Amino acid sequence: MSRQGSNRLSRLAALALKELKVVLLDRRARTTLVISPIVQLLLFGFATTLEVKSIAIGLVDRDGGRAAQEIVAALDGSPNIRELRVYPSERALGDGLARREVIAGLILPQRLSADVAAGRGGEVLALLDGRRTNAAQIVGGYLERIVARAGAELRPRLRGPPQPQAIARNWFNPNLDYLWFTMPAMIAVITAVLVLSVSAQSVAREREFGTYDELMILPLTPAEILLGKVAPAFVVGVANCLFYTAAIPLLYGVPFTGSLALLLVAIVVYSMSLVGLGLMISTLAGNQQQAFLGMFFVTVPLILLSGYAAPVDNMPEWLQPLVAVNPTYHMIVVSNGIFLKDLPADLVLKHLLPMLGAAVATFTMAWALFRARSE
């Protein structure tokens, strides 16, 4: 066995080395792998979050009591809020939203202070500009936190298609800096894009360049070939993770409170699940172009169903099971947790297991497809 085993290992090593070289020597691939994480980091960090600083908030105060004063004071003191406009009525606030004078508004009901004082917890209605969904959601988060401090609950309503929103409370992000959420989650998203693009091209590239025959004639089993193709994706995943873990605290001051080792373990398992998916696409594709389209087909739902762009709780029931098996969702939870609240190992494990399951499932499918199409 030992001879056979070492033989197999040296074969795998030769394959992995070859895969790494092929990816790193391809100038286009190299550029994509190095430039795109940097661009995304800067783009997401600086550009997309600008619109939720320096905002205008509308207010209809029918209460005027203690709770209302607290809320107004908090709004006034928030560094993100440039202007607080007071409207006489809900209708006037609605018009203000329509005219884009404000991005959101709070309506403090008459009995708010009384309810809070009585310990019943008051309800505050929030109107959000549904045309600016992303920004409005972030603002909704600010408002919820402010209202909660005053002891009331926020009932947000998006203008546009009216839809009640429940927003998670931001215990571990006391300053409500949205970057604290987006940046750790970016690790999961950008890793998904990079690892998928590397692995989705791998088999398709061999087919397109005619090296597939050479590969098939060598005494390698389909499992060995697929395992060899894991190497570049791992290197990309881990390197990217290290880069982001170093850059995010430095550039944006997001705290890193957890264990780097745990994060790396999670990234390795996460990359594994993505490689399996990428290899499935690659096996089915006849050339690199098809592989690219296939990757697009998978990446978009992967990210949309991860809670990165839209809160998971807002998704319809029937989509929830898909979220539960989405490795990107779990990776975002783990990454946020490790960055912001020193997520303990047992809780990390709870999210690692579904990722591991996804990895095993996608690999098995990739292997079966590869065997079936290995002619």
Partner 1 sequence: MTDPPPAPPASGRGEAVLHLEGVAKRFASPGRGAPAIDALNGVGFTLREGRIMGLVGPDAAGKTTLLRVCAGLVAADAGEVDVFGAPAARLDRGLIGYMPQAGALYAELSVEQNLSLYAKLRGLRRDEWDERIGHLLDLTGLAPFTRRAAGRLSGGMRQKLALACAVVAAPPLMLLDEPSVGVDPLSRREIWRLARDLAGPETAIVWATSVLEDAEQCDEVLVLHEGRREYFGEPAGLAGFAAGRVWSLPVPAAQRRGALRAALEHPATIAGRIEGGEVRLTLRSLADQPPKLALAKASWRERRPQVHDGFAWVLDDGSALRPSTVAAAFPEIAHEADAPPAIEAVGLGKRYGDFTAVHDVSFAVAPGEVFGLLGPNGAGKSTTFRMLCGLARPTSGHGRVAGHDLTTAAAEARQALGYMPQKFSLYADLTVAANLRFVAGAYGLAGACLREAVERAVENLALGEFWRLPAGTLPLGVKQRLALAAAVMHAPGVLFLDEPTSGVDPIVRREFWHHITGIADRGVAVLVTTHFMDEAEMCDRLLLISRAETIAQGTPEELKQQALAVRSAGATLEDAFVALIAAQRERAREAA
Positions touching partner 1 (CB under 8 A) are: 6-8, 10-11, 13-15, 17-18, 21-22, 25-26, 209-214, 216-221, 375
Please state the closest distance from residue 210 (CB atom) to partner 1, in A.
5
**CA 162, 167, 170 angle in degrees (round to 5)?**
155
For β-strands 81-86 and 152-159, DSSP reports them as: unpaired
- Measure the CA–CA gap between 328 and 12, rounded to whole angstroms: 28
Nearest residue to 228 via CA among 17, 371, 23:
17
CA distance 23 to 72: 56
Closer to partner 1 at the Cβ: 26 or 342?
26
Listed residue (199, 235, 79, 187) closest to 142, CA to CA: 79
Q: Name the minimum Å distance from CB 154 to partner 1.
A: 56
Q: The tokens 């692995």 sit on which residue? A: 199
For partner 1, give the closer residue by CB, 30 or 149.
Answer: 30
Please state the closest distance from residue 13 (CB atom) to partner 1, in A: 7
123 or 224: whose CB is closer to partner 1?
224
Please report how close the Cβ of residue 181 comes to partner 1 at its closest, in angstroms: 40
At residue 79's C-alpha, the angle toward residues 74 and 81, to 5°, is 75
- Tokens for 322, please give them: 């898909």
- Rounded to the nearest whole angstrom, what is the least distance from the CB of residue 368 to partner 1 in the complex? 16
Minimum CB separation from partner 1 for residue 229, in Å? 13
Instruction: Indicate if the alpha-carbon torsion angle 279, 285, 289, 292 is positive or negative.
Output: negative
Closest CB to partner 1 among residues 14, 261? 14
Nearer to partner 1, 218 or 345 (CB): 218
* CB nearer partner 1, residue 76 or residue 214: 214
Is the CB of 32 or the CB of 314 nearer to partner 1?
32
Q: Which residues pair with 154 in a beta bridge?
A: 124
**Of 118, 119, 187, residue with least CA distance to 340:** 187
CB-nearer residue toward partner 1: 1 or 25: 25
CA 123 – CA 155 distance, rounded (Å): 7
Q: Which of 301, 331, 266, 295 is nearest to 196 (CA)?
A: 295
Q: DSSP for 175-226, please give it.
A: T--THHHHHHHHHHHHHHHHHHHHHHHHHHHHHHHT-HHHHHHSS--HHHHH
| Min separation Cβ 1 and partner 1, Å | 14
Q: Please say which residue, 119 or 219, places its beta carbon nearer to partner 1.
A: 219
Q: How far is the CB of 221 from partner 1 (least distance, A)?
A: 6
176 vs 145: CA distance, rounded Å: 8
In the complex, least distance from residue 337 CB atom to partner 1, rounded to whole angstroms: 40
CB atoms within 10 A of CB 300: 10
